[in-house]
Structure 1
C-alpha cells in the first residue's frame, strides 16, 4: 500500500473514529455520573464516577486535537505551552482513569472477602481519600512530560533520548503495572467468589447485596475491555524499541506503517474511554433498569413541562 493511500485511510479513520468516540463517550460518561451518583455512598461507585469524569476529560482533550489538527510550525510561546500541556494533561486524565479502575477492582476484592477486617476497609471516606491521593500523585509523577516534551520540525512530541525514556514510561505505567494489578485483584476477587459460592446472577440470601453484585459485574466487564483496548499501545512500543536495536536502517514505508499502527493503538485508547457506559448496559441487568428508569423520568418531566 502506498504512503498516500495509508495517509488517506488514516485521516478518514481518525476523523470519523474520533468524532464518534467523543459523541458517544460524552453521552455515556455523563449518564454514568448521573446514574451512579445515586449510590455515591458506595466506595466502588465513587471510583467509577471518578473514572467516568476522567474518561470524559481525556476524550474531549484528545478528540479536539485530532479532529481539529493544531499547527506547531509557529514556534511561539503560546504554541510551545500548548504542546507541553496537551500531552501532560492527557497523561494525567488517562492515568487517573486507569488508577480508578484499579481501585474499583481492589474494592471488589475487599467486598467479596470472607474476612470482616478486609471488608471493613471498603468505606466511602477511604475511597474519597484515595481519589485525592491519586490525583496528587499523577500531577507530580509525569512532571517530566512538560519539561522534556518539545517541538521539532513542526511536530510536538518526545525526541532523541527522551523518546526512549517516554516509551519506557508508557510501557511500564500504561501497560505492565495496571494490567498486573488488575489481573492479580481480578483473580483474587474470582477466588473469593468461588470460596463464598457467589454467582454473578443474583441468588437468594447472598451475603453481598444486589447493588454490590451489580458493581462487581460492571468492574469485571470493564477490566476485560481494558485489557483488549489499552495493552496494544505499550506492547507495540516495546516491539518498536526492540526493532530499533535489531534493525539499524528502517525504510520510510516501514516508518509510515509503524506510525499508522501506533495511531490505531491511540484510537483504541479513545474507545477504552468511550466504552464503559455501553459495557455496563450490556453486562448488567440492574444498570439497564436504571437507564430505562432515568429515561422514563426525563420523558415524564419533559411532558409535564410541555403540558404546563
Structure 2
C-alpha cells in the first residue's frame, strides 16, 4: 500500500511543500490585482450622486477605503518579506511595531464598517419611527469617526508589546495567547456574530413591514428629515449587505477558528507541522480574500450597483473622450501661432 511506502510519503510531503510555496507566491499577487481593481471600482460607484448621501452606501464606501489599505499594505509587505528579500520587519524596530499595528487596526476598522452597514439596514427597516431615525447622515459621520478612533485605540497595545525578539514578535507567554485571542474575538467572532444577528433582525423587520404596510401611516413631522431613499435602492442595499455579511463571516471565521487552534492547540511536528503550515497559508489567503471580494459580490448581487457602476464608467468615458478634441484643438491653435 502507498501509505506504507516511504517514497510515497516523501513524494506527498514534497507535493505539499510545492503547493504551499506556489500558493503563498501567486495567491497574494492575484489578490493584490483583483482587490485593488475592485476597491477602485467601489470608490467610483459609491461616490455617485445617487449613493453618496445614503447612510448604508457611505459605510460601504468607508469600508472599501480601508479594504484597499488592508490589501495594498498587508499583502505587499507580506509578499516583500516572503519572496522579495525584504528583511526590514526583523531588523527595524519601528517598522516592526508599525506593521504589526497597521495589519491589525486597518482590517479591524474595515470589518466594523461592514457591521455598521448591518446595523444601519436593521434600523432603517424597522417599523418604529425612532429606530428609523438613526439611519441619517449626521449620525453616520459621527459613527465613522468613532469607529476609526476605537479601531486605532483598541490596537494600540501592539505598539508597546511588539519588538525584535530577535525577530519581530509579541511578548512571550500569557500575553502571546492574549494577543492571539484579541485578534480572534475582536476582529473575528464579535463583529461577525453581531453582523449575523443584525442581518437576521433586518429580515425580521422586512417581514414585519410587509405585514403592516397596509396599516402604516405617512411619516409624521416628528421624524427627523433625511434624504428620500427609493424603495428599490434600500432593497438592493439590504441584499448587498446580507450577501457581504454572509461571505465575510464564512471567510473570516474559517481563518479565526484555525488561528485559535494554531495558538491554543498542541505543538505540531513533522508531517503534521507541514499540514499546519499549509492550512495557515490557505486560511491567510481566505482572510485577505475577504477584503478583496466586495466589488465582485456587489456586482453579482445587486442590479442597482451594476447600473450605477456602468453609468459612472460612461460618465467618465464621456469626459475623457469629450476632452480630447478640445486638447487637440488648443494644441493646433498654439502651433499655428
Q: Is residue 28 of structure 2 the alignment partner of residue 26 of structure 1?
A: no
Asked whether the 8 Å contact 2:161–2:170 carries over to 1, the reply is yes
Q: How far does residue 89 in structure 1 lie from its aligned partner after superposition?
A: 0.7
Per-residue deviation, residues 46-99 of structure 1 (Å, max 9, x unmatched): 211110000000000112112222315863xxx111111112011111100110
Asked whether the 8 Å contact 2:124–2:131 carries over to 1, the reply is yes
User: Which residue matches 1:191?
Assistant: 204
Per-residue deviation, residues 113-169 of structure 1 (Å, max 9, x unmatched): 00011001111111110110111111111111121123345x433352232111111
User: Which residue matches 1:230?
Assistant: 252
RMSD: 2.1
Distance 1:238 1:74 in 2: 24
Q: How far does residue 306 in structure 1 lie from its aligned partner after superposition?
A: 3.7
Distance 1:72 1:151 in 2: 11
Q: Is residue 315 of structure 2 the alignment partner of residue 300 of structure 1?
A: no
User: Which residue matches 1:261?
Assistant: 279
User: Which residue matches 1:42?
Assistant: 54
Q: How far does residue 242 in structure 1 lie from its aligned partner after superposition?
A: 4.3
Report 1:75-114 matches (<5 A).
Answer: 75=91, 79-114=92-127
Q: Among residues 134, 146, 152, which one is paired with 2:147 in the alignment?
A: 134
Q: How far does residue 238 in structure 1 lie from its aligned partner after superposition?
A: 2.5
Q: Is residue 303 of structure 2 the alignment partner of residue 285 of structure 1?
A: yes
Q: Among residues 8, 14, 22, which one is paired with 1:12 in the alignment?
A: 22
Q: Describe the shift of the 1:227–1:22 C-alpha distance in structure 2 as closer, same or farther (beyond 3 A).
A: same
User: Which residue matches 2:269?
Assistant: 251
Structure 2 length normalisation: TM-score? 0.81
Secondary structure of the 2:291 match is helix
What stretches of structure 1 of length at least 5 have no aligned partner? 199-206
Secondary structure of the 1:277 match is helix
Per-residue deviation, residues 152-197 of structure 1 (Å, max 9, x unmatched): 45x4333522321111112211222012201110110010111122
Q: How far does residue 100 in structure 1 lie from its aligned partner after superposition?
A: 0.2
Q: Is residue 226 of structure 2 the alignment partner of residue 216 of structure 1?
A: no
Q: Is residue 73 of structure 2 the alignment partner of residue 61 of structure 1?
A: yes
When Rg is computed on C-alpha atoms for both structures, the one with the higher figure is: 2
Distance 1:175 1:295 in 2: 35
Asked whether the 8 Å contact 1:57–1:93 carries over to 2, the reply is yes
Distance 2:281 2:169 in 1: 14
What stretches of structure 2 of length at least 5 have no aligned partner? 1-8, 212-228, 327-337
Q: Describe the shift of the 1:264–1:151 C-alpha distance in structure 2 as closer, same or farther (beyond 3 A).
A: farther
Asked whether the 8 Å contact 1:229–1:269 carries over to 2, the reply is yes
User: Which residue matches 1:163?
Assistant: 176
Stretch deviating more after TM superposition (265-274 or 96-105):
265-274
Q: Is residue 158 of structure 2 the alignment partner of residue 151 of structure 1?
A: no
Aligned residues: 292
